[in-house]
Structure 1
Amino acid sequence: MSRTLHRIGARCAARPWLTVSAWVAALVLALGLAAAAGGTTRDDYDVPGTSSQAGTDLLRERFPDLSGTEARVVVHDPNGAKLDPALLDQVASALRAVEQVGLAGPAQSSADGDTAIIDVRYTVPVTDLPDDAMDLLRAATGPARDAGLQVEYAGQVPEGEKPTSHTGELAGVLIALVLLIIAFGSVVAAGLPIISALVGLGIGSSGILLLAALTDIGTTAPTAAAMVGLGIGIDYALLLVTRHCEGLAADLAPRAAAARATATAGRSILVAGAIVLLSLFGLVLSGLAAYRTYGYATAIVVATVMTAAITLVPALCVISGRRLIRRRRVGHTGPRRPPMTARWAARVGRRPAGWALLALVALLALGAPALDMRTWPQDAGSQPTENTVRRAYDLIAAEYGPGAYAPLVVAVDLTSVPQGSVPALREQIAAVPGVATVSEALMSPEATAAALTVQLEFSPQDERSGELVDQLRAEVLPAGAEITGVTAVFVDIADLLAERLWLVVAVVVGLSLILLTIVFRSILVPVKAALVNLLSVAAAYGVLTMVFQWGWGSRLLGVDRPVPVSTWVPLLLFAVLFGLSMDYEVFLLSRIREEWLATADPLQSVVRGLAATARTITAAALIMVAVFAGFMTNADIVTKMIGVGLATAVALDATIVRLVLVPATMMLFGRANWWLPRWLDRMLPTLGHGRALPDVLSAENATNEASRPARQVSAR
């Protein structure tokens, strides 16, 4: 691996302008293809194999006019006056004329008459609606707004409309640039990681749009992919630029330094990127299309930014020459005081057991609140008040009751259940405590199915709503009757993801252990790496619970009340965080492994490895935190949660874990860190980090000699 990477770095460095031109051409081509043939992102709300999906499928088959997605128009008079029935009929008629609408209305007025709900049912799923679906709804309800009434929208159609502001993300990039300038002391060096990450992100994002033309990609998947890809892209490029600068400071020619950086840092990038991709593969096992699209989208971006780091960055480094390093570093030969990180590592080494215990207690304390975590999919009640679905939610809850926003639908298959038993079934459902109202049965055109609308006394987020759905399924409904609707779907999603989480954890951790064992030729190091990364993930879960579920500081993020942690978040965060945490683990362990192979000193290899990487890891972590913090400003609450979770985990990982727990445990175990049975060592392939690099260094010396004239010109 190292020899191959050395050749790649050397070739890219030997023809830097050709390499940069190729990447620019690829970016322009990708953007052009995405503009010409790219699709649009759409959410897929199907949950195959669940009771709610069986009910939805029955409705689609037997009730063509009710087979698609839905929207709800809420009309309210702010002055408290009764609404004009003729105006409501006019709005309902306009809604029926909207493209792909099957049914609309009649309007359901509140008890005091100042609010009305008009249900709109489409004939197609939300994924098949045109991009201007919300514009058509707004146009149809124009007469109500013209009359001075408040008009809000609820349901899947408006929930799929996402804000397009990227102010927070741009602020995160600017902060990252400032941090890079501080870390390198060079504007040129600071700009290279940003350029590489943005180029890779541009191509990867274009790939997502091209994929969206072939399959459904969730509306928030590109945002999550950009969040992860931008942070990882900057990190990977930063690692390679740092190793390149070390080579320049050692008086290597730029081409030789770039080749050496690609051979050493490049293999760390490949291993770390492979673990990230393995972690994202875990999302495919979730059983939900939404998670699969998260995995595909993020994997595309990670692959492109990783490739950019290995090929584009060496070329940019050579073009930049010696401007990448501070002048005072060149030619400095006097004695230096050991770096602060080396002194810190030595301090940890004097009492490794105490420091390890302290770090462990801190992580466990932060993770403890996760034991109280309650998950529930995102719904309108969690959104910020400036969002129309949140305003519609509040109006419906105030005028019709907390359970009116997302009523249940009982779909009855009359080929299995006698039609004459439907009235009795309606009475049985209405008699269950917690059920507010049950509508009259709506019969399908061929009288082969019936649908009952059930309103609960509780909001969708209330734990009692889920318990009531389970009770109705277990005790009331006969075979052939299924509960569907938003709340029932949420119950099934929560149950499915709670079950699949452990499968994903087992597969991702298992595959990562195998890869790390091959790379580092050790049993203990991979196991320890997996355990400390799981601690980081648990701590992130605990912080999410405190911030969102307990409400500690949530108002600072624009969340006006405590809400459950979104069901979508824990599994997604695990897949992403485990990969990101392994990035820093691989960066640190790779350097420690190099020092161990060179010195065979278990204590000094940790001290030197930490001293060499701590500055880079800290800078990379600060940059990632800045990028992820930018996404906390996003209006979508799931994106906020992802931003908080990622920023928290990265901050903890780069401080408590990498500066304390990992060096302390490695010093405790000493030589045992690198123990591997001989029979297993012979069986495993060699991918790098497991051996020294004599062949690479010989090739590097040859490259250095060949490029010496260029180095002398650069020095002048």
Structure 2
Amino acid sequence: MSSLLYRFGRTTALHPWRTLVGWLIVAACVFAAGSAFGGTTQDDWNVPGAESQRGIDLLRDHLPDAGNASANIVVHDDTAIPASILASLGERLQDVAHASSVSPPRISEDGRTAVLHLAYDTEVTHPDLMGDVDPLDEAVESTRDAGYQVELGGDQPSTASAPIEGYGELIGVGAALLILLIAFGSAVVAGLPVLVAVSGLAVGSAGVTLLAATMDVSTSAPMVATMVGLGVGIDYALLLVSRHAEFLAQGHPVEEAAGRSLATAGKSVVFASLTVLISLLGLGLAGLPTFSTFGWATAISVVAVMLTAMTLVPVLCRFAGRKVLARGLRRGAVRTERPLTARWAERVTRRPLLWALAGTTIMIALAAPVLDMRTWPQDDGNQTTEVTTRRAYDLTADAFGPGATGPITVVVDHAKVPAAEVADVRAALASHDDLVAVSPATTSPDGAVSVLTAEPAFGPADERTSGLVEDLRADLPAGVEVTGQTPLFADIAEMLSHRLWVVIAFVVAVSVLLLMLVFRSIVIPLKAAVMNLLSIGAAYGVMTAVFQWGWGAGLLGIDHAAPVSSWVPILIFAILFGLSMDYEVFLLSRIREKWLDTGDATGSVVHGLSASGKVITAAAAIMVVVFLGFATEGDLVVKMLGLGMATAVFLDATIVRMILVPATMTLLGKWNWWLPGWLDRALPQVDVEGDERALEPTR
């Protein structure tokens, strides 16, 4: 592969205009295909295999108004609300697009709060409903103008309550330019990786639209794909540019430097992207369609930015010439001061045991709160009070009790339970201590099912909710389904907590096998997996402390403690494990290159950290700022993703790469590279570091 990449990089640099035109043609074809044949994002919130899904399907089959999207319109005033106000509001709500029915208002005992329930005739993921709350706002406008407080709750308004503003991308691009300019002292090195990453991301976005034509792609998937694609795109381009600059500084011509940078750093980029893809595709094992689309969409973005970097970096470096070097090097100055990373590596390798213990202690201490982590899919009660859905939640809880914000729907299937036994089912529900109210049964028009609604004594995110759902299912006879949003959330939390370990096992096993093949070692891959798990565990711990315990939550604009979203741990693991392996490949490629050349275990660690430390640090700093940019968004789940990933990348680039890796590799010495002979013969030979001696001579 080294010789192939060498020829490709050298050819693109020798013929930059042809290459650029070719890339533009390919990009234009992708854009044209996306425009002509691409689809639009479409969420699929069904949960195959969940017990609640059976009840939802029964409702959809037999009660047109049930099992679909809904909205709760909460009206509040300091005095009793006149019936005429609620009646006129109900008439306007009936005219909302896709409205199927509007229930009579539920009025609090003091008459100051009323809730009208609007049932739609289609699922909440329908394009006409998803993320569009304008029809409801128009319907309630005159009520608000009359001086009444009107807030919107329920699953349909929740899809638009905290829209993504796009600050993360803007903050990330601006920070990347500043960080690279400071780190490398060259405007070209600062701007080139960002330009390449954004170009690749644009192509990847067009690819995601083509994916949307073949499957339901979550509306949140492009955001995750952008978050990851922008970060890894800058990383890959930066690695290539920095290696190109090294070869230029050694006196190689521009086209030769381009070929050699692709043959060495380019191969690291290829294998690093493979580790990211393995992690992302592991999301398919989570058992939810939404996660699968996250994986596929992000994988398309990663492939797009990787191919764009491999193609455009040699071209743009040819155009830039020696401007990729810092100003002093362009003037012929010779750098005499040893890099800071080299001096740091020597300090760590002099007392490796002490540094290893210190680094491990810090990581374990940060990860400790994970033992108390509780997951729950985020509901309206966990959002900030700045959004209408949270205010609707609070008004409802204050007026009718916390259980009114998350009622439980009980569906009796008369194919299994006779209609005469519905009264017994209601009596069993009414006798339950954790239920404060049970509605009379309603039978479907076709007589196939009966439906009851029960209100718990506590809110849906309460830690007792999962136990309540389990108890109800155990007490009620077969053929009675416990469903609704709250039981569905309980099922999702349970499912993802178990599936997390399946995803971890798959991603770790395949990644270890790939690293074993690349670095010809058993110790290196296992150590890399343990350290990556430490980084992710520490990120989980920080999320638990901030969001669940409330430590410093106010700095993120959060006014209350909340459990960690069930969606976040698996998504963070899949993304971060791949990104951490990126840095592992970048660093270990340079270490192994020196090890094969000298056989000096400690010296190769110092050399590898010295050669790649600045690139890894700059790349990680960009990632941290990109992810923290997403932590400024209004949605709580996006905040968790942003903070969790920023924490993990920061710790990975500092504690892990700068302390634990050099310390443990120094302690292990030559055992780092131990591989049994029989396994060495069985594994295919892959030369990831791209030995420069195997390259063609300079012409």
TM-score (ref. length: structure 1): 0.94
Distance, in Å, in 2 between the alignment partners of 1:7 and 1:386 is 57
Deviations 1:275-326 (A, max 9, x none): 0000011100000111111111111111111111111111111111111112
Q: Which amino acid aligns with 2:125?
A: T
Distance, in Å, in 1 between the alignment partners of 2:410 and 2:132 is 27
**Does residue 694 of the first structure (1) align with residue 682 of the second (2)?**
no
Q: 3-state SS of the aligned residue for 2:686?
A: coil
Distance, in Å, in 2 between the alignment partners of 1:6 and 1:117 is 68
Query: How far 1:513 sits from its partner (Å)?
Result: 0.9
Corresponding residue of 1:246:
246
Q: 3-state SS of the aligned residue for 2:488?
A: helix
Q: 3-state SS of the aligned residue for 1:121?
A: strand
Deviations 1:133-173 (A, max 9, x none): 52222223333223222222112211122524223431222
CA contact (8 A) 2:267 2:690 kept: no
- State which of 85, 88, 92 in structure 2 corresponds to 1:87: 85
1:222-621 correspondence runs (5 A): 222-330=222-330, 332=332, 336-475=336-475, 477-621=476-620
1:627-666 correspondence runs (5 A): 627-666=626-665
Corresponding residue of 2:95:
97
CA contact (8 A) 2:41 2:216 kept: yes
Q: 3-state SS of the aligned residue for 2:133?
A: helix
Distance 1:324 1:692, change over 3 A: closer
Moved more, 348-357 or 646-655: 348-357
Q: 3-state SS of the aligned residue for 2:410?
A: strand
Q: Which amino acid aligns with 1:564?
A: P
Q: Which amino acid aligns with 1:662?
A: V
Distance 1:523 1:38, change over 3 A: same
Q: 3-state SS of the aligned residue for 1:424?
A: helix
Distance 1:333 1:106, change over 3 A: closer
Q: Which amino acid aligns with 2:101?
A: L
1:129-148 correspondence runs (5 A): 129-130=127-128, 133-148=132-147
Distance, in Å, in 1 between the alignment partners of 2:85 and 2:414 is 38
Distance, in Å, in 2 between the alignment partners of 1:145 and 1:26 is 53
CA contact (8 A) 2:323 2:330 kept: no
Query: How far 1:218 sits from its partner (Å)?
Result: 1.9
Q: 3-state SS of the aligned residue for 1:596?
A: helix
1:87-236 correspondence runs (5 A): 87-130=85-128, 133-161=132-160, 162-236=162-236
Distance, in Å, in 2 between the alignment partners of 1:552 and 1:140 is 40
Distance 1:386 1:651, change over 3 A: same
Deviations 1:37-66 (A, max 9, x none): 543333322111121011111111111222
Distance, in Å, in 2 between the alignment partners of 1:212 and 1:675 is 46
CA contact (8 A) 2:89 2:140 kept: yes
The Cα RMSD (Å) is 1.7
Query: How far 1:100 sits from its partner (Å)?
Result: 2.5
Q: 3-state SS of the aligned residue for 1:561?
A: coil
Query: How far 1:361 sits from its partner (Å)?
Result: 0.9
Query: How far 1:23 sits from its partner (Å)?
Result: 3.4
Deviations 1:251-286 (A, max 9, x none): 111111111111111111111110000001110000
Distance, in Å, in 2 between the alignment partners of 1:497 and 1:38 is 31
CA contact (8 A) 1:199 1:308 kept: yes
CA contact (8 A) 1:42 1:126 kept: no
Query: How far 1:26 sits from its partner (Å)?
Result: 4.3
Query: How far 1:555 sits from its partner (Å)?
Result: 0.8
Q: Percent identity?
A: 51
Q: Which amino acid aligns with 1:483?
A: V
Moved more, 35-44 or 454-463: 35-44
CA contact (8 A) 1:66 1:102 kept: no
CA contact (8 A) 1:208 1:222 kept: yes
Distance, in Å, in 2 between the alignment partners of 1:447 and 1:335 is 85
Q: Which amino acid aligns with 1:311?
A: T
Distance, in Å, in 2 between the alignment partners of 1:613 and 1:500 is 36
Deviations 1:502-522 (A, max 9, x none): 111111001001111111111
Corresponding residue of 1:709:
none
Q: 3-state SS of the aligned residue for 1:527?
A: helix
Corresponding residue of 1:713:
none
Q: 3-state SS of the aligned residue for 1:64?
A: coil
CA contact (8 A) 2:164 2:634 kept: no
